[in-house]
Chains A and B, each alone.
Chain A
Amino acid sequence: MNRKLVKQRSEYKWLIEKAGRMNVEGILYASEPLIEGMDDKVAEQVRNVASLPGIVAASYAMPDAHWGYGFCIGGVAAFDPSQDGVISAGGVGFDIACGVRTLHTGLKASRIEHLRTQIADKLFRHVPAGVGSTGKLKLNQQRLDEVLEGGAVWAVEQGFGTKEDMRFIESGGRITGADPSCVSYEAKKRQEEEMGTLGSGNHYLEVQKVVEIYDEPAAKAFGIELDDIEISIHCGSRGLGHQIGTDFLKQMTVAAKEAGLELPERELACAPLHSAVGKRYLGAMRSGINCALANRQILTHLVREAMADILPQANVRLLYDVSHNTCQEEEHEIGGKRRKLFVHRKGATRAFGPGRADLPVEYRPFGQPVLIGGTMGTSSYILVGTERGEKLSLSSSCHGAGRQMSRTAATKKWNGKDVARKLEQQGVFIRSSSMRGLAEEAPGAYKDVSEVVEVSHQLGLATRVAKLVPLICVKG
């Protein structure tokens, strides 16, 4: 990034001062090398978001930020409905409630050492992944409405998991205010056969080993010890969410044009929270969140079935489930006052500090688990939300490594088979339906996740609890 676009305020904080049409300042959290690697467009997008009506506090970019659609990926912005605040379909993204769920297995690494090939093959066979894959469930439009209202709670009612699982999911596994009547026929049609599927691209199912503990008390509360085997699922609301994003991006673009709202770029299309389009999007987007929560719940059930088949003593329980593409109604303190805000997190993770009622009682004294996915060859991290994060970033942190190389460049540089072979030499067993897809997702195409996490930790957006390395990675 051109340094003239930002002013360095401290080692990890960079400012875009309020100017022109900006309603608030822009704040980027990054180290020197991360700022160096960021596209100029990130600064432009942070500035553009700062100019939207009703924005409060600041327009933020997390350490893994990169050029996105309207909002940068890694963008956080909160809007006050009482100040004509807006909601933006681009600010949530096409993969509504894409997120990470991490599961305990109750197993130590030594227990699965000789079974790694077997587990990898079983998970790959048992969990539908990749383009064109379908789930075992076929749901008509009416039954899908039940999913969209019920989220993971609906999935448990169908026998996919236990009530206890719900305590460890953001919003208790079901977000209120979902309105399936705001979701188009086409969006539901895309989901009829996609419940319980992983998807493709950067989505994955990973078996991981805990290799480092940084914060003993928090790790103990989260139930993590050295050498534990955890399983993480990264995916979202599948075709339904993508279609809601497509439908409302268009509707908001038309509404903005009709309202005479000038947008710096079309992807910033938004609508006042109080408007008819804004309300409809909120009802649809929340339906998308519930769809994603139900999807990850069904995938958890499939993981349990697969593990029970190979290791009946495995006890698969939820550590936590948190989305990183959402707009959520939350209370935050702004200027000494508690205010109800709509917080957009586009490729950013909610990171509540201690005491929040939404957290499971055993985590509440410590804060929320923040699940950071790495790449196939690097580490993933579990962080914990902090009290400081509330003031710094409206309780938000990074979401992953963030790409540093385009997919086209990655496929020119690497070959999928070589990527898989090298990873296997490093001890990571890869199962994927797409070799070219593997090249696009090669670890070198991503930023250094440890550097991204270091910035979050040093600033206190969310602090390190544990580091995990991949042993098996299933990709679509």
Chain B
Amino acid sequence: MWEHFSHPADIGIRGVADTLEDAFAQTAYALSAVICDPQTVEPLEAVEIRCESLDVELLLADWLNSLIYEMDVRKMLFSRFDVSITGLQLTGEAWGERIDPNRHKITVGVKAATYMELKVARNEKGLWTAQCVVDV
């Protein structure tokens, strides 16, 4: 499950799932949904992502910022994500396609995933939540 949450100037993104990996993948989907409707993005091409961080929250920010970087330099949009996390190392794949202005109705670009409202936590029912505010 993913959702956006309100923030005065920007947009909060949140992923909730049974595993940490899926929560990261859902947050990435929420990131894509800030930019456009991910359902209009065909998962035609995979981009590999690797990151490593000091703690699991910074790892989330790194994962999202890596996606923002790849979208920016490849002029791509993503709609499917596979994540694997070992310790504080992440390897993942983002699937998507090049921006096609005729098919993709873009809302806004994302400058960065920020550390504001940056949280990765597991609740008493075992569900993982991964979230932060993105600067648009």
A and B assemble together: yes
- A interface residues with partner B (beta carbon < 8 Å): 39, 66-69, 73, 93-95, 130-132, 134, 186, 189-190, 192, 199-201, 239, 242-243, 245-246, 249-250, 253-254, 257, 265-267, 269, 403-409, 433-437, 440, 476
Known contacts: A73-B9, A408-B11. The answer to whether A265 contacts B109 by CB under 8 A is: no
Counting CB contacts under 8 A, is B8 at the interface?
A: yes
Known contacts: A73-B9, A94-B135. The answer to whether A436 contacts B105 by CB under 8 A is: yes
Distance between Cα atoms of A408 and B133 in the complex (Å) = 12
Known contacts: A67-B9, A406-B7, A407-B11. The answer to whether A131 contacts B111 by CB under 8 A is: no
Distance between Cα atoms of A269 and B108 in the complex (Å) = 27
Distance between Cα atoms of A440 and B6 in the complex (Å) = 12
**21 cross-chain CB contacts under 8 A:** A66-B8, A69-B114, A69-B135, A94-B114, A94-B135, A131-B106, A131-B108, A131-B109, A132-B101, A132-B106, A190-B69, A192-B73, A201-B136, A239-B72, A242-B111, A253-B58, A269-B115, A403-B8, A403-B9, A409-B6, A433-B101
Of B54, B65, B111, the most chain A CB neighbours within 10 A belong to B111
Of B4, B8, B115, B133, the most chain A CB neighbours within 10 A belong to B8
Chain A residues in 8 Å Cβ range of B83: none
The reply to whether B8 and A436 form a contact with Cβ atoms under 8 Å apart is: no
Chain A residues in 8 Å Cβ range of B54: 253-254, 257
Chain B residues in 8 Å Cβ range of A69: 114-116, 133, 135
Distance between Cα atoms of A409 and B6 in the complex (Å) = 7
Chain A residues in 8 Å Cβ range of B62: 250
Known contacts: A242-B111, A253-B58, A407-B136. The answer to whether A68 contacts B9 by CB under 8 A is: yes
- B interface residues with partner A (beta carbon < 8 Å): 4-11, 35, 54, 58, 61-62, 65, 68-69, 72-73, 75, 99, 101, 105-109, 111-116, 118, 133, 135-136
The reply to whether B6 and A266 form a contact with Cβ atoms under 8 Å apart is: no
The reply to whether B107 and A440 form a contact with Cβ atoms under 8 Å apart is: yes
Chain A residues in 8 Å Cβ range of B69: 186, 189-190, 243
Chain A: minimal CB distance from B111 (Å): 4
Distance between Cα atoms of A266 and B116 in the complex (Å) = 8
Distance between Cα atoms of A110 and B61 in the complex (Å) = 51
A66, A189, A199, A249: the one within 8 Å of B9 (CB): A66
Chain A: minimal CB distance from B40 (Å): 13
Chain B residues in 8 Å Cβ range of A95: 111, 135
Residue of B nearest to A416 (CB): B107
The reply to whether B108 and A434 form a contact with Cβ atoms under 8 Å apart is: yes
The reply to whether A407 and B10 form a contact with Cβ atoms under 8 Å apart is: yes
Chain A: minimal CB distance from B57 (Å): 8
Chain B residues in 8 Å Cβ range of A190: 69, 72-73
Distance between Cα atoms of A403 and B10 in the complex (Å) = 9
Known contacts: A267-B114, A437-B108. The answer to whether A246 contacts B65 by CB under 8 A is: yes
The reply to whether A437 and B9 form a contact with Cβ atoms under 8 Å apart is: no
Chain B: minimal CB distance from A115 (Å): 27
Distance between Cα atoms of A249 and B10 in the complex (Å) = 18
Residue of B nearest to A38 (CB): B8
The reply to whether A130 and B111 form a contact with Cβ atoms under 8 Å apart is: no
Chain A: minimal CB distance from B79 (Å): 15
Distance between Cα atoms of A440 and B116 in the complex (Å) = 20
Of B4, B35, B114, the most chain A CB neighbours within 10 A belong to B114
Distance between Cα atoms of A368 and B135 in the complex (Å) = 30
A243, A254, A257, A434: the one within 8 Å of B105 (CB): A434
The reply to whether B107 and A436 form a contact with Cβ atoms under 8 Å apart is: yes
Chain A residues in 8 Å Cβ range of B116: 69, 265, 267
The reply to whether A131 and B9 form a contact with Cβ atoms under 8 Å apart is: no
The reply to whether A94 and B99 form a contact with Cβ atoms under 8 Å apart is: no
Distance between Cα atoms of A243 and B111 in the complex (Å) = 8
B101, B105, B106, B115: the one within 8 Å of A265 (CB): B115
Chain B residues in 8 Å Cβ range of A132: 75, 99, 101, 106
A67, A186, A200, A253: the one within 8 Å of B109 (CB): A200
B73, B75, B106: the one within 8 Å of A433 (CB): B106
Distance between Cα atoms of A403 and B7 in the complex (Å) = 10
Distance between Cα atoms of A407 and B110 in the complex (Å) = 13
The reply to whether A408 and B6 form a contact with Cβ atoms under 8 Å apart is: yes
A134, A201, A253: the one within 8 Å of B75 (CB): A134
Known contacts: A246-B65, A257-B54, A407-B11. The answer to whether A435 contacts B105 by CB under 8 A is: yes
Known contacts: A239-B72, A246-B65, A267-B114. The answer to whether A131 contacts B99 by CB under 8 A is: yes
The reply to whether A437 and B4 form a contact with Cβ atoms under 8 Å apart is: no
B7, B99, B106, B112: the one within 8 Å of A242 (CB): B112
Chain A residues in 8 Å Cβ range of B136: 200-201, 407
Chain B: minimal CB distance from A187 (Å): 9
Residue of A nearest to B64 (CB): A246
